[in-house]
């Protein structure tokens, strides 16, 4: 009898120890990973959210499937997908809610999203319009267009052309130095003090290799202002008829018609990230917002224009690998071709905290735009998503 009581006490003691360990472990997890529970919860939420996808009646089946994949893979509880066929027919899908997971307002086709760096192809399209009207040349030297006659700290700056800026070959490399446009709490010198270009030091000779540059696209905004005599935002808004669409620039704080962004998968910034950056300064690189459908319409109109120079042209003048994402840049977009036998596409992605976007165009004239109010970290995850979009778009073209 005594042995039975002893075994009972030992058993009860072990249960108490285990319960204390579990509570301590959970408490430690919640303290050290305050967003950990919500991230785990998203695994359960994602398939339920994906069921809230609504597409236009004739939308291809792969658009439904792509939305389900994006909801899980990208951590976006709200997203829009727009696809325009070569002939101009628009299909679109919306998933989730405008005001957060299980919100009161259903996401609509005209709900506003930030495009982040997918703004760059819009800036490129505005530059190409000036080129096709003979107001500007790809070979024009930046210092001459800007009227910069100050002594140059780095003489190679004099070699930078409009084409170099369009295709990220201007000479700056944010991998080896800081990104001048996104220094936390620091106002960029471009565009307001563009004369500081004279004090710039380049990381490589212009034109010799590709290196993604937000600064280069800010300077293209300055080029637009110098050539047209209008503020960048005013000129682009008028050129692309923003007043007839949802397209608009953001100044930082969220618009009333804007989606609620889910930042649970971010490791540093929250939804207040905009306080630390100058959105007016980054207008030409990452300042645009609107709906996926309106952005797709803008790009489709540009592809159908009769201009001699188009988005995606101009790549191939520096060594690159078409089978790698973000390796071979053309004008406003980069080219991707996983194998020599595969169909090439031109695309560009964008990323803000809790916000992802991508535009992709194939050789038939089709345009796809996806925008999401969430983002899971990791380059491999993003590239897997781009590959999924690539397969959907190229398979559709072969049907």
CB-CB neighbours of 150 under 10 Å: 11
Give the Cα separation of 354 and 351 in Å (integer). Answer: 8
pLDDT at position 10: 58
pLDDT at position 26: 38
pLDDT at position 1: 54
pLDDT at position 377: 84
pLDDT at position 318: 85
pLDDT at position 46: 92
Q: For residue 171, what are its two tokens?
A: 């000479």
Three-state helix/strand/coil letters over the chain: CHHHHHHHHHHHHHHHHHHHHHHHHHHHHHHHCCCHHHHHHHHHHHHHHHCCEEECCCCCHHHHHHHHHHHHHCCCCCEEEEEECCCCCEEEEEECECCCCCCCCECCCCCEEECHHHHHHHHHHHHHHHHHCCCCCCCCEHHHHCCCCCCCCCHHHHHCEHHHHHCCCCCCCCCCCCCCCCCCCCCCCCCCCHHHHHHCCCCCCCCCCCCCCHHHHHHHHHHHHHHHCCCHHHHHHHHCCHHHCCCEECCCCCCCCECCCECCCCCCCCCCHHHHCCCCCCHHHHCEEECHHHHHHHHHHHHHCCCCCCCCCCCCCCCCCCCCCCCEECCCCEEECCCCCCCCEEEEEEEECCEEEEEEEECCCCEEEEEECECCCCHHHHHHHHHHHHHHHHHHHHC
Q: For residue 274, what are its two tokens?
A: 């905009």
Sheet holding 113-114, edge to edge: 113-114, 288-290, 248-249
pLDDT at position 35: 64
Give the Cα separation of 121 and 349 in Å (integer). Answer: 10
pLDDT at position 361: 96
CATH superfamily of 61-398: DD-peptidase/beta-lactamase superfamily (3.40.710.10)
Q: What is the pLDDT along the chain (399 residues), one digit of tens a residue?
A: 556 665 656 565 565 555 554 334 434 333 344 466 888 999 999 999 999 999 999 999 999 999 999 999 999 999 999 999 999 999 999 999 999 999 999 999 999 999 999 999 999 999 999 999 999 999 999 999 999 999 999 999 999 999 999 999 999 998 888 899 998 888 999 999 999 999 999 999 999 999 999 999 999 999 999 999 999 999 999 999 999 999 999 999 999 999 999 999 998 889 999 999 999 999 999 999 999 999 999 999 988 676 789 999 998 778 999 999 999 999 999 999 999 999 999 999 999 999 999 999 999 999 999 999 999 988 899 999 999 999 999 999 887
pLDDT at position 185: 81
- CA distance readout (Å), 265 to 23, 46, 355, 382: 24, 13, 11, 14
Tokens 């982040």 belong to residue: 116
Query: What are the extents of the domains in the chain?
Result: 61-398
pLDDT at position 28: 36
Give the Cα separation of 217 and 179 in Å (integer). Answer: 12
Peptide bond into 343 cis (omega under 30): no
pLDDT at position 11: 64
């Amino acid at each position: 009898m005594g042995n039975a009581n002893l075994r009972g006490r030992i058993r009860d003691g072990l249960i108490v120890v285990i319960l204390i360990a579990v509570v301590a472990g959970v408490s430690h997890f919640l303290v050290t990973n305050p967003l950990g529970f919500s991230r785990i919860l998203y695994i359960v939420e994602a398939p339920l959210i994906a069921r809230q996808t609504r597409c236009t009646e004739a939308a291809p089946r792969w658009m439904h499937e792509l939305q389900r994949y994006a909801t899980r893979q990208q951590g976006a509880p709200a997203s829009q997908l727009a696809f325009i066929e070569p002939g101009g027919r628009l299909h679109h899908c919306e998933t989730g809610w405008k005001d957060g997971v299980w919100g009161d307002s259903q996401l609509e086709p005209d709900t506003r999203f930030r495009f982040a760096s997918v703004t760059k192809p819009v800036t490129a399209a505005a530059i190409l319009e000036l080129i096709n009207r003979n107001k500007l040349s790809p070979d024009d030297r930046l210092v001459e267009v800007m009227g910069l006659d100050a002594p140059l700290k780095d003489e190679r700056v004099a070699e930078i052309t409009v084409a170099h800026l369009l295709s990220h070959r201007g000479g700056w490399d944010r991998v080896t130095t800081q990104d001048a446009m996104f220094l936390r709490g620091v106002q960029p010198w471009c565009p307001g003090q563009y004369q500081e270009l004279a004090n710039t030091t380049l990381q490589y000779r212009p034109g010799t290799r590709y290196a993604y540059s937000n600064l280069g696209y800010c300077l293209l905004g300055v080029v637009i202002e110098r050539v047209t005599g209008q503020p960048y935002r005013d000129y682009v808004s008028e050129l692309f008829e923003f007043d007839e669409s949802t397209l608009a620039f953001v100044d930082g704080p969220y618009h009333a018609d804007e989606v609620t962004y889910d930042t649970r998968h971010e490791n540093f910034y929250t939804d207040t990230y905009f306080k630390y950056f100058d959105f007016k300064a980054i207008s030409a690189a990452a300042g645009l917002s609107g709906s996926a459908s309106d952005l797709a319409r803008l790009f489709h109109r540009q592809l159908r224009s009769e201009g001699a120079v188009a988005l995606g042209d101009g790549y191939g003048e520096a060594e690159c690998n078409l089978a790698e994402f973000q390796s071979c840049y053309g004008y406003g977009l980069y080219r991707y071709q996983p194998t020599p036998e595969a169909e090439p596409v031109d695309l560009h992605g964008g990323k803000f905290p809790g916000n992802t976007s991508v535009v992709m165009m194939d050789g038939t004239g089709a345009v796809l735009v996806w925008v999401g109010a969430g983002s899971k970290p990791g380059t491999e995850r993003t590239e897997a998503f781009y590959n999924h979009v690539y397969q959907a778009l190229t398979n559709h073209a072969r049907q």
